[in-house]
Structure 1
Amino acid sequence: MAYLDLYSGPWTIAEANHLLRRTSFGCSQDTLNEALNLGLSGTISKLFEVNPMPEPPLKYEFDGDERDEVNDPDANYGETWVNAPAYPTLPTQQETNKAVRARNRSLYAWSFIQMQESGISIREKLTLFWHNHFVSVNTNPHREFYYINTLRENALGNFKELTKLITIDPNMLVYLSGNQNTNAAPNENYARELLELFTLGKGEAVGNGDYTNYTEDDIVAIAKILTGWRVKSLLDPDTLTPIFSNFNHTKGSKTLSHRFNNAVIEENGEDEYKDLIDIIFQQEECSKFIVRQFYKWFVNSEISDDIELNVIAPLANNLKANNYEIAPVLKTLLSSNHFFESTFCMIKSPIDLMLSVTKSLLFSGPTATIKEQYDYALVLYSACYDLNQDLFHHPDVAGWKAYYQSPLFYKSWVNSFLLPKRLDYCRIIVTGGDLVIDDITYTIPPLIPVLTIASKIENATDPNVLIKSLSKLLFNYEVSDEQVVSLKEFLIPGLPDFEWTVEYSEYLADNTNTTLVISVDKKLRSLISIMVQMSEFQIM
């Protein structure tokens, strides 16, 4: 049976869980049931549905003079700030900075809300993939939103066309110095990363300035091809539209090296960068390069010679045959025998981990007001930042180490410093408590509705059934009988099974009895808080 043959094994909660965890961010019992009813083919189709774009982020903090309030008169509470001037003009620099930072917080919280509410859809997971692939760090929320929106709009689309859009994206032009790239002083920053990190990879050094996939002379020539692009001042109303200055563009034809078959890029003004990208995407290595990135993101960090031959190469051929449309290739990979054999080999990223808790356990932060909703989403953002996955602020242009740094790869997410935090943050989401990040204390109430979760489990009066059902939801398989015995110590410490059966049955018969409600809630919360700290919950 070939690696990429359509998976023909059983379609159970384990397979649905595996697919949904890898392609989205955790899943609830209801989502799993929906996937089970849809079957593999139906779930894949739903994952790749093109849904309407989300409404933009909102201003969620109040205007005022208090220390914890902001003054941003260009945007009203509950409305988006995206249409306001990119750089608010306020009486003092301090007030301006405060308004900009408030918009930053809104964007970061909103991004977590999108992931939390994504349902059966691969778009948010792919948006995060492209965010880690086309790394672009900035501090202006408008440019950040424009950039991430470009990634989201094109997440399921065409790799070549997305590369063209990102090349002249204002956020990217500023981040990798394209904004400073002129005929008088060509800047090679973006040219180098375009080849090394975005499209081809460097390859092995085979000579002085000569690598498997390109040469240093190609960097020089490509920098000249890309000259002339500009980003207007933040004070300009049109600051989010890149502009081309023919005066600052290097004129004449540019010749690439033998690595590109000595291709000649003719003078073509503001469309010259497109001609360059078309040439890069003709290289055989380009399709293999991006397929390897997809493989590391969705399947496994280890790519053996066998995987290179039987998975990477045929998918790369498929990608090139489809003119770099990514959906057909990913559907093939995610529906394959090989994908469903590649389980328990990935340590969850901080974002995957935190959202596995919230989505699997029906987390519902306070939603009475927009401010409450955004405040709690910002707590998730802050926790992930503290666990070394800072959305919008990668450690460097290569992205998060877990997806490129050999031999650790995913193990980068856990060490003696990070692992205790990972476990503690998972616990606090279930039990409530104080979460301390950068000397700021966030007091989290117990927001996981443990009673509702238990109510969805048939025969939850049996503690063995309860624990095994929860393990199927939280892990990818049932726990062993020995583990069940150990876990019962957190549900009914030192007591026989019937004690739980009696108490839970009494609660079901009278859920208005406050004493019973508190007691059952406490026992369930104790059990689940331990389960989300188990090693089985850390992997997927």
Structure 2
Amino acid sequence: MEIKAFDVKLQHLYWRAGFGPTFLPEKKPGNIRQAVRQLLRDAQAVHPLPDPHRESGEGPTTMAEADKRKQQQQERRKAIERLNYTWLNQLATAQEQLREKMTLFWHGHFACRLREPRLMQVQNNTLRQHALGKFPELLLAISRDPGMLQFLNNQQNRKQSPNENFARELLELFTLGRGYYTEQDIKEAARAFTGWGYNAEGEFVVRKRQHDAGPKTFMGHTGNFKGEDILRLVVENPRTAEFLTAKFYAFFVSDVPDEARIRKLSTYFYKSGYNIAGLLEKLFTSGWFYRSDIVGAKIKAPVELLVGLQRQFAVTYADSRSPLVLQRALGQELLQPPNVSGWAGGRNWIDSSTLAFRLQIGPALLQDAALEIQLKPDDDAEPTRPVARRKDGLRIARAKANLEGLQQRISQVKEDELVKGLSLLLLQVPLHPAKEQLLVQSIPASATRQEKIFLITRFLLSLPEYQVC
């Protein structure tokens, strides 16, 4: 099997625009532009996450109030766990890889820490629906989202007593970025959003009696502005396109910004009416996106690492708790961003403890080994004793990988070229000659081909090189 330069580019694209390649037989595109357009075609479908309460039944109605609250808390935890597990599997198996990757991006951009599973589900599906459309439509939808309105206290935003939380984060984190607005702009924007909230059914409502209908001056414009007017004014400002494009660049390309590239892309983004799919197509078909200083230069986010392993090795978990524990240990739990700023990303994913644990995960999966995890106290919300936690699996993650797809993918590779062939398939950076030599020497001459593939793969997954894409 010959790994050509185009194959390397294709793997790079699949890692950045999705969660890595699979080893399933598939028709390969003829060039990068065709591959990008295929990703966009595949991403046209929208598959929402299901109701996380679908499996819960009605509890006893004669319970004491304290027992009811305890049962409700347990049901909420199980529903969140179910939603997390469902989304993780969808990230790994969905044909709409680019839509799911963009849903993850927007999940970090419009970061909310919510307690109610249904609010999580609704918000996640709103992000998924608008993930590749026009940003103004997404911004309006998320501004009306009950989870967002709850998290940033706009339910309490009333005339005579405006709450500035949503308006502040809208300008600082969602659109313009710090330094491109004034405190007075925040105050006036907050007045425009007074009365925005949701009803008992979780539907967006404008409580007209609570809305401040008076004139407002926002970023040099004066009028009887409503919330929609503020959103329109911020997207009319080219700075919003620059701010968003810089975040796209950091997420898809590099933690080190290139001002010239970002400026060029943001100009296109603004002129296109904030066409997200169009911007991504332009980015992924740029020649510089496939340069050697870009390929393999990003640390995989924990979710990218776990989902990538699941895609490549058909990983199956023993229970829905195991992947949740892994996410917590690695520092990125789906549906639970750390704060309104989202995950910092980049080198923040790695410290001495998380790197050591990362290097164990792949080999453990191949050996069907249980990963014993010591979570920090604030990462473990279960109010049970440590011994019970160990017994019920809270701190033990169990999963198993499957090498069949990989074995079929390299079926034509000669045995003396297995190390080179597997390293090209599994690593986004070249394997150092010294490590390659060490690996070759460590394989017993009597090992079968299947055993060699296992040993080589286990070694490669234990390397820091597997942690980058």
Using structure 2 for the length normalisation, give the TM-score.
0.88
For 1:66, the equivalent position in structure 2 comes to: none
**2:29 aligns to what SS in structure 1?**
helix
State which of 385, 406, 409 in structure 1 corresponds to 2:328: 385
In structure 1, the partner of 2:211 is: 249
* 1:264 maps onto 2:222 in alignment: yes
TM-fit CA distance, 1:253 = 1.4
Which of 338, 360, 369 aligns to 1:424? It is 360
Q: Residues 423-470 of structure 1, C-alpha deviation per residue, up to 9 Å, x if partnerless?
A: 11222122221222345343535x3222552233134451x3212111
1:365 aligns with 2:316: yes
Q: Which residue in the other structure is 1:324 paired with?
A: 274
User: Structure 1 counterpart of 2:259, which letter?
Assistant: E
Check if 1:340 corresponds to 2:276.
Answer: no
Matched, 1:144 2:120: yes
Indicate if the aligned counterparts of 2:194 and 2:211 stay in contact, CA closer than 8 A. Answer: yes
**Deviation of residue 58 (structure 1)?**
6.4
Out of 91-100 and 318-327, give the one that drifted further: 91-100
Counterparts in 2 of 1:480 and 1:422: CA distance versus 1, 3 Å: closer
Counterpart of 2:242, as a letter, is: K
Aligned to 1:510: none
Structure 2: how far apart are the matches of 1:96 and 1:332? 48
SS of the aligned residue for 2:24 comes to helix
Gaps of 5+ in 2: 60-64, 376-389
1:214 maps to 2:181: yes
In structure 2, what is the Cα distance between the partners aligned to 1:104 and 1:265? 43
Partners of 1:103 and 1:155 lie apart in 2 by 24
Distance 1:192 1:60 in 2: 33
- Give, in angstroms, the shift of residue 104 of structure 1: 1.0
**Judging changes above 3 Å, is the alpha-carbon distance between structure 1 residues 38 and 379 closer, same or farther for their aligned structure 2 residues?**
farther
Whether 1:308 and 2:259 are equivalent positions in the alignment is yes
The answer for the alignment partner of 1:65 in structure 2 is: none
Once residues 136 and 414 of structure 1 are traced to their aligned partners in structure 2, the CA distance between those partners, rounded to angstroms, is: 23
Q: In structure 1, what residue type is equivalent to 2:224?
A: E
Find the aligned partners of 1:46 and 1:344 in 2 and give their Cα distance: 23
The answer to whether the Cα contact below 8 Å between 2:302 and 2:332 also exists between their aligned partners in 1 is yes
Q: Does 1:40 align with 2:32?
A: yes
- Which residue of the partner structure matches residue 4 of structure 1? none
Contact 1:170 1:241 in 2 (8 A): yes
Report Cα offsets for 1:267-289 as digits up to 9, x if no partner: 5xxxx211111111111211111
Q: Is the 8 A contact 2:310 2:316 kept in 1?
A: no
Contact 2:371–2:397, Cα closer than 8 Å, also in 1 = yes
Equivalence for 1:487: 439
Shift of 1:263: 0.5
What is the identity, as a one-letter code, of the residue corresponding to 2:149? L
Change (3 A) 1:147 1:443: closer
Q: Which has the larger radius of gyration?
A: 1
Work out the CA distance in 2 between the residues paired with 1:147 and 1:59.
Answer: 13
Partner of 2:454: 525
User: Within 2, Cα distance between the matches of 1:90 and 1:353?
Assistant: 41
Match of 1:73 in 2: 58
* In 2: Cα distance, 1:59 partner to 1:172 partner: 19
What corresponds to 1:207 in structure 2? none
Residue identity matched to 2:465: E
State whether structure 2 residue 12 is matched by structure 1 residue 18: yes
- Residue by residue over 1:493-526, the C-alpha shift from the partner in whole angstroms, topping out at 9 and shown as x without a partner, is xx4xxx34xx33xxxxxxxxxxxxxxx45x5433
Q: Against the structure 1 CA distance between its residues 320 and 461, is the aligned structure 2 distance closer, same or farther, given a 3 Å change threshold?
A: closer
CA–CA separation in structure 1 for the residues paired with 2:132 and 2:348 = 28
Q: Does 1:281 align with 2:232?
A: no
**Conserved 8 A contact 1:166-1:172:** yes
- 2:47 aligned with 1:54: yes
Match of 1:457 in 2: 410
> Does structure 2 retain, via aligned residues, the 8 Å contact 1:434–1:441?
no
The aligned residue for residue 382 of structure 2 is none
How far did 1:481 drift?
A: 4.5
Quote how far apart the aligned CAs of 1:357 are.
Answer: 1.8
Deviation at 1:489, TM superposition (A): 4.2
Matched, 1:448 2:424: no
Once the two structures are superposed, residues 22-42 of structure 1 have per-residue CA deviations (whole angstroms, 9 ceiling, x without a partner) of 0111212337x64x4342122
Tell me, which stretches of 5 or more residues in structure 1 are unaligned? 1-9, 63-70, 75-88, 204-212, 367-371, 403-409, 505-519
8 A Cα contact 1:357 1:532, kept in partner: no
> 3-state DSSP class of the match of 2:274?
coil
- The residue type paired with residue 531 of structure 1 is L
Q: 1:187 to 1:284 in 2, by over 3 A?
A: same
The 3-state SS of whatever aligns with 1:401 is coil
Match of 1:352 among 304, 317, 324: 304
Aligned residues between the structures:
440
How much has 1:127 moved relative to structure 2?
0.3
Determine helix, strand or coil for the equivalent of 1:264: strand
Q: Is the 8 A contact 2:422 2:456 kept in 1?
A: no
Contact 2:48 2:128 (8 Å CA) reproduced: no
User: What SS does the corresponding residue of 1:392 show, helix, strand or coil?
Assistant: coil
Q: Is the 8 A contact 2:12 2:295 kept in 1?
A: yes
1:338 partner SS: helix
* CA distance 1:130–1:274, shift in 2 (3 Å): same
Give the Cα separation in 2 of the matches to 1:60 and 1:164.
Answer: 27
Alignment of 1:145-224 (within 5 A): 145-203=121-179, 213-224=180-191
1:436 to 340, 358, 372: 372
Q: Is the 8 A contact 1:469 1:478 kept in 2?
A: no
Deviation at 1:53, TM superposition (A): 2.5
Q: Alpha-carbon deviation of 1:417?
A: 1.6
Check the 8 A contact 1:224/1:250 in 2, yes or no.
yes
Q: Is the 2:300–2:468 contact (alpha carbons within 8 Å) kept by the matching residues of 1?
A: yes
**CA distance in 1: counterparts of 2:405 and 2:185, whole angstroms:** 60
Whole-Å separation in 1 of the counterparts to 2:186 and 2:308 = 42
Separation of aligned partners in 2, 1:295 and 1:188: 29
Which secondary structure state, in structure 1, belongs to the residue aligned with residue 411 of structure 2? coil
What is the identity percentage for the equivalent residue pairs of Structure 1 and Structure 2? 26
2:31 is paired with a residue of what secondary structure?
helix
Distance across 2 between alignment mates of 1:39 and 1:528: 28
Deviation at residue 121 of structure 1 after TM alignment: 2.8
